[in-house]
Amino acid sequence: MRICIVAEGCYPYVVGGVSGWIDSLIRSFPEHEFVLLAIVANRSQRGKFVYKLPENLVEIYEHYLEDVDWGKESKKKLHLSQKEYKALRSLLLNQKVDWDVLFDLFQNRKFSIDALLMGPDFLQAAMECYQQQYSQIVFSDFLWTLRSIYLPLCLTLQMELPKADVYHCVATGYAGVLGSMAQYKHGCKLLISEHGIYTREREEELVKATWVVGIYKNIWIDQFKKMSRLAYERADIVTSLYAHARELQIELGCPAEKTRITPNGIKTARLADLPGKTEEDEDKINIGAILRVTPIKDVKSMIQAFAFAKGKQPNLKLWIMGPCDEEEEYAQECYDLVEALQVEDVVFTGRIDIKDYLGRMDVTILTSISEGQPLTILEGFAAHKPVIATDVGNCKGLIFGEDDGIGPAGILTHVMNIEEISQAMVDMAVRPQMRIEMGENGYRRVMAKYRIEQMVETYKNIYLELKEEKE
C-alpha cells in the first residue's frame, strides 16, 4: 500500500514531538511504501532535513506557504465562471463552501495567483464580504488582509498532488486541505491524526500575536476553522490522542462516528537499563527537561522557578536537553536569564541522545504552554522517572491516569506559575520515597498503555480497514 504522510512545520525539519512520531510510524510499517508531503513556511527551509530518512520513504515533496508566484500566464486576466465565483464568494463569506468547485478551479485551470487575488472577481467578493460583515473597518486594510490570508491557501490549492492509496494528514489546516483535495482528485482514503487540536492551537497563537490586532485576529481564526471543518467533513477516520481532544474535535464539527482515540506509543525497551548518575552528580538532584528551546516550551518560567528552588535546595541541578538552534534569539534570552539571575547548575546540553542522560535524572520537567500527549513524559516514565508538568494537553491524564488505578506519576502545575513549579522541584528534592513511587507508577502506566507495539497494532488495523474500504 502507498501512503502519503502530510505534515505541517515538523518532519523532517525538527526533532522530537510530532516529527519523532512520524519517523517512528513510517519505520514501523516497512511493508508499506510512504511518500511525504511536507508543508513549510518558505524555500529557506528547502531540504534542511535533520532525520536520516527511512528506506521505505521513497519520495518527498515540499510545499511552501510563502512562495513566488511563478507566473502561470501572469499577465493574462482571469475570469471566473458564475459557479467558480459563487464558490469563491462562499469561502470569503464563511458560508457553506463548494470545495469541489475550488479544487477543480485550482487543479485544472492554469493561472497566476496574482491574477486572482488582484483581479476583479476577488475584489468583488471581498467588497460583498466587507459590506455584510466588516463595514466598520477601513476597506483597504481589510482587502490587503484578505489577500495575505488567501495567498497561502491558494498556493496550497495549486499544489501538484502525488498519488497514494491513503493520505494520512498529521493535522487539519493546510495539511487537511491537501488531503481533502487528494481524496477528491485521486479517490484515495483520508485519515486525519491530530496530536494537538490545530484550530485551538492557531487560535491561541493569534490571540497572543502582536503582528495582527483587533477584528483581524477573528478573520484569521475563521480561516483556520474553515480548513479544519473541511478536513473533518471529508476524512474517513479522525484520530486523537486522548478523550478530551476527541471531545474538542466533535465540538469543532467533526462527526463523532469518525473519531478514534489512538494514544502515543514509545519504544520502552530502548530506555531499559540506562546508565545512572556519574560520580560528579552523585550528590545532586538532577531535573531533566527534554525539549526544543522555543517559546512554546516556556523555558524562561522553568529557569526562574529553578532559581527560587535552588535557593531553598542548593543540591538541585537543571539539565536543559535539546536543540537550541531553532529559535536562536529565544535561546539567547534563556542564556541571558540564567546569567542575570546568577543561578548555578543550569546546563544546556544541546542536541543529545536521551539514552546518555535520562538515567542520570531524578525527575523530568515540562513547563510548556501547549502540548498534545508529550512523548518526553512517556520516555521519562519508561526510565522510571517521575515528572513535573504544566496542565496542558494530556499531561494531567498521564500523571494521574485515566481510571487505571495506578496512582500519580508526578506533580501537575498551572501554566507559567513559577511559584508552583518551584515548589514542585523542592518537593521532589526533599521527598525521595515519593519520587521513587511516582517513577514506578509512571513505568507501570507507560507499559500498560503507551508502548510502540500497541500504537503500531492500532494503526495497522486502521490502515487495513481503509485498504479494505478502498478495494
Verify that 281 and 395 share a domain, yes or no. yes
Domain boundary among 261, 294, 324: 261
Domain presence at residue 435: yes
pLDDT band, very low/low/confident/very high, at 314 (cuts 50, 70, 90): very high
Quick one: what percent of the chain has pLDDT higher than 90?
A: 87
pLDDT at 73: 53
* Residue pLDDT, tens place only, 381-392: 999 999 999 999
Verify that 198 and 54 share a domain, yes or no. yes
Residue 95: Cβ-neighbour burial (10 angstroms; 0-12, 13-18, 19+): exposed
The range of the structural domain enclosing residue 107 comes to 82-150
* Residue pLDDT, tens place only, 278-310: 888 889 999 999 999 999 999 999 999 999 999
* Residue pLDDT, tens place only, 435-459: 999 999 999 999 999 999 999 999 9
Domain presence at residue 467: no
Verify that 320 and 423 share a domain, yes or no. yes
Domain presence at residue 186: yes
Q: pLDDT: is 303 or 402 the higher one?
A: 303
Q: How far, in Å, CA of 237 to CA of 455, rounded?
A: 16
Domain presence at residue 73: no
Verify that 116 and 49 share a domain, yes or no. no
Counted domains in the chain = 3
Verify that 334 and 374 share a domain, yes or no. yes
What is the Cα 412 distance to its own chain's centre? 22
Domain presence at residue 459: no
Verify that 116 and 6 share a domain, yes or no. no
Verify that 32 and 105 share a domain, yes or no. no
* Residue pLDDT, tens place only, 90-124: 999 988 999 999 999 999 998 999 999 999 999 99
| Across 67-81, 190-204, 446-460, least confident range | 67-81
Domain presence at residue 466: no
Residue 74 pLDDT exceeds 60? no
Verify that 287 and 340 share a domain, yes or no. yes
| Distance, first Cα to last Cα, the chain | 11
Verify that 370 and 432 share a domain, yes or no. yes
pLDDT band, very low/low/confident/very high, at 75 (cuts 50, 70, 90): low
Angle at 40 between CA 106 and CA 375, to 5 degrees: 125
Residue 20 pLDDT exceeds 80? yes
What's the average model confidence in pLDDT over 132-143? Answer: 93
Residue 469 pLDDT exceeds 90? no
| Distances from the Cα of 190 to the Cα of 66, 173, 206, 219, 286, angstroms | 26, 14, 28, 28, 45
Quick one: what percent of the chain has pLDDT higher than 70?
A: 98
Verify that 293 and 361 share a domain, yes or no. yes
Residue 335 pLDDT exceeds 90? yes
CATH code where residue 183 lies: 3.40.50.2000
pLDDT at 70: 59
Contact (Cβ atoms closer than 8 angstroms) between residue 16 and residue 48? no
Domain presence at residue 394: yes
DSSP codes of every residue in 26-70: HHT-TTSEEEEEEEESSGGGTT---SPPPTTEEEEEEEESS----
Verify that 373 and 437 share a domain, yes or no. yes
Domain boundary among 261, 287, 320: 261
Verify that 50 and 134 share a domain, yes or no. no
**DSSP H/E element including 3:** strand 2-8
